[in-house]
Chain A
Amino acid sequence: LAKTTQPISMDSYEGQEVNITCSHNNIATNDYITWYQQFPSQGPRFIIQGYKTKVTNEVASLFIPADRKSSTLSLPRVSLSDTAVYYCPGHSNYQLIWGAGTKLIIKP
Chain B
Amino acid sequence: DTGVSQDPRHKITKRGQNVTFRCDPISEHNRLYWYRQTLGQGPEFLTYFQNEAQLEKSRLLSDRFSAERPKGSFSTLEIQRTEQGDSAMYLCASSYTTGGETQYFGPGTRLLVL
B-binding residues in A (CB < 8 A)? 32, 34, 36, 41-46, 49, 51, 87, 89, 91, 93-101
Give the interface SS of chain A, mostly helix, strand, loop or mixed.
loop
Note all chain B residues with C-beta closer than 8 A to A95: 33, 45, 48, 56
Q: Which of B4, B101, B104 neighbours the largest number of chain A CB atoms within 10 Å of its CB?
A: B101
Cβ distance A43 to chain B, nearest Cβ, rounded Å: 3
Given that A34-B102, A87-B42, A100-B41 are contacting pairs, would A94 and B55 also be in contact in the complex, using a CB cutoff of 8 Å?
yes
Q: Chain A: which residue is nearest B105 at the CB level? A: A43
**Is A43 touching B42 in the complex (CB atoms < 8 A)?**
no
Note all chain A residues with C-beta closer than 8 A to B45: 95-97
**Is A98 touching B108 in the complex (CB atoms < 8 A)?**
no
Note all chain B residues with C-beta closer than 8 A to A96: 33, 35, 43, 45, 103
Chain B interfacial residues counted at CB < 8 A: 28
Of the residues A42, A93, A99, contact of B42 by C-beta under 8 Å: A99
A-binding residues in B (CB < 8 A)? 4, 31, 33, 35, 40-45, 48, 50, 55-56, 89, 91, 93, 99-108, 110
Distance of A101 Cα from B101 Cα, bound (Å): 20
Known: A49-B100, A87-B42, A94-B48. 19 other contacts (CB 8 A): A32-B101, A34-B100, A36-B105, A41-B110, A44-B43, A44-B105, A46-B102, A46-B104, A46-B105, A93-B56, A94-B55, A94-B101, A95-B56, A96-B103, A97-B45, A98-B43, A100-B40, A100-B41, A100-B42
Q: Chain A: which residue is nearest B42 at the CB level? A: A98
Note all chain A residues with C-beta closer than 8 A to B91: 43-44
